[in-house]
Structures are given as C-alpha cells and as structure tokens.
Amino acid sequence: MMKPALISLLTIWPFTASACETALILTIDVSNSIDVAEYRLQTDGLADALRDPEIIEALISGETAISVVQWSGADRQAVSVPWRRIRTALDAEYLANQARVMERAFVLSDTAPAEAIYFSLDLFGDVSDCKRKVIDVSGDGTPNSGSDVRLARIAAERAGVTINGIAIESMGLAITGFYKSALITRNGFVITARTHREYPAAIRAKILREISKIIG
C-alpha cells in the first residue's frame, strides 16, 4: 500500500512517458550503379551522422524511431537495421555501429524506387504511435524497373507518410529533378549531393531537417 506522502508526490509530479515524434526509415540505393567505394561512403556517412552531437540531441528529444532499408530492383528490398527507439546516447551509438558494419544486401540489380517505397510503408505498423512518419530515399539514378513511382508517392500521401530524398548526382541535376517531380510528397524536400563524396554532409543535413520539430 502506498504511503500518503508518495501518493501526494505522484499527484504533484506525475510520471509521463516521452512520445515518439518521428519514425524515420532511411533507405539506401544499392543498385548496379553503386560501386563498393560508393556504398561505403553511404554507410560511413550515415554512421557518422548518427554520432553527430546535434543529431543525437534531437533524436533523444523526440525519442525518434529509426530503421535502415537497402533497396535496388523490383524484388530487392531488405531491412538492414530494424526499428530502434533513440532514448539515450547509447541507443544512437548502437545504431551508428550497426549502420557502419551492415553488409551490402544486393549487387548487380536494377533501380526500382517505387517498390522501395511500398516496402517501407509496410514497416510503419510497428511504430504506429509515432506522430510523424518519414521515408528518406537516397539514390543516384532514375527507375529502370518496377512500378510507377508517382503511384507509390500517392500511396504514401494517403497513408500520411512524408517522402524526402537525397539525389546523388554525377553531372547536372537530372536525379534532383526526377525526385522533385515524381518521388517526394507535397510536404517533402530534396537535398542534392553532387557526387557520392558529398553524401555524408547531405545525410547529416537531411536527418537534422527530418527530425526537427519545425520543418523548413
């Protein structure tokens, strides 16, 4: 039986669980256009971003849930890092370590971002309590297999899911233009990385923008 003093303390300062602000799926293109060095730039860039003090603080503040998916062709999608709630710096460190050492899921495969979106949409059932749901699509090519990306975008919007993108360019802005016109949702945005070497800085900026409570 609780003592009166403890009951009074609980009445004054009730214990409340922190709420998940954002569920974020980071999807990484591992299609045929991505070589070994470029894959490593993506995974190391992601791991470094998850060790950034500013990102760690924002992740913990929002108790962000993060998962990592690798994708390529129409039947090539895999969860490389399952959902993890970031409640402490140790959670962020664990996630960063997983991202750095994860093995490449597919090689010599096509580019099918629509199927990556559909696959990711099915994963949000495990984090239904999170207020915002975001799919982060990173890629360096336009589709050469799979279904219509615009229809996948519509499915995401109907489900209340935001799609953002990192367009990795080799020349010009063709990927950026495609992401803007066909892939991101109306409330989404695109960040351009001019070559894979700019990816680490781009993924840091992108995650910060995605997990901020005020989205610019």
pLDDT tier at 1 (50, 70, 90 boundaries)? low
Per-residue confidence (pLDDT) for residue 214, from 0 to 100: 42
Q: Mean pLDDT over residues 142-164, rounded?
A: 97
Q: Tens digits of per-residue pLDDT, 90-111?
A: 999 999 999 999 999 999 899 9
Mean pLDDT lowest among 3-7, 31-35, 93-97, 158-162: 3-7
CB within 8 Å of 64: residues ≥ 6 apart: 20, 21, 22, 23, 24, 58, 85, 86, 211
Q: Mean pLDDT over residues 112-139, rounded?
A: 97
Question: At which residue do the structure tokens 């409340």 appear?
Answer: 16
pLDDT tier at 19 (50, 70, 90 boundaries)? confident
Whether the predicted pLDDT of 63 surpasses 70: yes
Whole-angstrom Cα distance, residue 81 to residue 24? 12
pLDDT tier at 196 (50, 70, 90 boundaries)? confident
- 28 phi/psi in degrees, rounded to 5: -115, 125
Count of beta carbons in the 10 Å neighbourhood of residue 214: 5
On whether the CB atoms of residues 88 and 56 are closer than 8 A, the answer is: no
pLDDT tier at 170 (50, 70, 90 boundaries)? confident
